[in-house]
Amino acid sequence: MKILSKYIIESFLRTFILCMSTIIVLYIIVDLVENLEYFIRHKVFITYIIQFFILKFPMIIFQTSPVAILLSTLFTLGVLSKNSEITAMKANGISLYNVINPLLALTFFISIFILLGNETIVPYTTQKFYRVKYLMIEKKPQKIFFKQDKVWFRDSGNAIFNIQLLDAKNSQFKGISVYKFDSEFNLTARIDAKEMVYEEGKWHLIEGVLKNFLKDRNIDIKPFDKEYISLDKTPEEFKETIKNPDEMSFAELRNYVARLRQEGFNVTRYVVDLYAKTAIPFANFILCLIAIPFALKSSRSSGIIMGIGISTIIAFLYIIILSFGISLGKGGILPPLLAAWLANIIFSTAGAVMLISTRQ
């Protein structure tokens, strides 16, 4: 049995490496063509272009590995079935489960590896990638800094901004504190506001309090519902430098959620993103499970190509249901854990049912 498992795993890994390499090469070629005008416009040195793709490499691997596993499963089992090797195994009393168990075990461990990689490798390389893109290639100065998950930056005047919750992708800026200084860097005013919005090219603070520190050491306090604030940045500029949840590690996002919850913010969307970080890596295992029945049936009915086509459609359906579930979770319709794992639950159940029906 060990010899059989070794044979199946070796066949799978050879196919997986080939599929993974092909997908990565195609991905890089398409990405290079799409960014060619960008590189020319910024007169980028070849060394920065190499760094650009090297730092993107782990993200490419982790994003495309489910597709490679899907194709590898189809090709490996499809060839075994086409060559009547699986029939020969059954004739010698070897259960179908003994044939597929090595693949399921291997793809499960690949899922664990992807999960750990998303926690350690990807956040680090992604951060370096954006540093190369914005600081080295586009030569934009870094004016926004993080400290303990809070955002600090100074505008062109003598004001320092602190933002507790910043989701530039969805234009959410909450928990705002603004410190204004004179030419000698003495604190002259402080503004605390519930949120900051960008409307018609201007920034406004919502539901806040303005404290002016007078020279006689008294404090003039003025509450407001909406107040204009001078800020020489746009939401797009924040998007270039601020970490989104998909760029954080699981530990970073968990700590971020805990702090926001403690400060009274609605963290539902971030909790969904947190659980999605544990669910998405297991797409590797799920798509292997889904591909097995089609690979075993394809050679007996409509051919391997049809099996690939059907399984590819299922892969897209998986992505659609995954996105749909996450959207329902962020909208508060489904509990965050169920929303993140909805696609995995549906497709693992469907895969198991199809696998049982294929046994004979």
pLDDT tens column, 209-227: 999 888 777 888 899 999 8
Average confidence (pLDDT) over 88-112: 85
Beta bridge partners of 198: 203
pLDDT at 120: 86
CA neighbor of 120 nearest in space, from 249, 256, 277: 249
pLDDT of 94 above 80 = no
Torsion of CA 316, 320, 322, 325, to 10 degrees: -160
Helix, coil or strand: residue 250: helix
Q: d(Cα 132, Cα 52) in Å, to the nearest integer? A: 7
Q: d(Cα 328, Cα 281) in Å, to the nearest integer? A: 20
pLDDT band for position 112 (50/70/90)? very high
Beta carbons within 8 Å of 88's beta carbon, 6+ residues apart = none
Q: Could you report the per-residue pLDDT of 185-201, keeping only the tens digit for each?
A: 788 889 999 888 888 88
Beta carbons within 8 Å of 157's beta carbon, 6+ residues apart = 230
pLDDT of 239 above 70 = no
Relative to beta strand 159-167, strand 172-181 is antiparallel
Q: d(Cα 62, Cα 117) in Å, to the nearest integer? A: 8
CA neighbor of 36 nearest in space, from 27, 48, 25, 49: 49
Q: Could you report the per-residue pLDDT of 2-46, keeping only the tens digit for each?
A: 788 888 899 999 999 999 999 999 999 999 999 999 888 888 888
Q: What is the DSSP letter of 244?
A: P
Q: Could you report the per-residue pLDDT of 136-157, keeping only the tens digit for each?
A: 888 765 555 454 456 777 776 7
pLDDT at 148: 42
pLDDT at 307: 58
pLDDT at 166: 72
**Contact status, residue 214 vs residue 220, Cβ threshold 8 Å:** yes
pLDDT at 138: 80
Q: Could you report the per-residue pLDDT of 241-255, keeping only the tens digit for each?
A: 566 676 778 888 888
Q: What is the DSSP letter of 45?
A: -
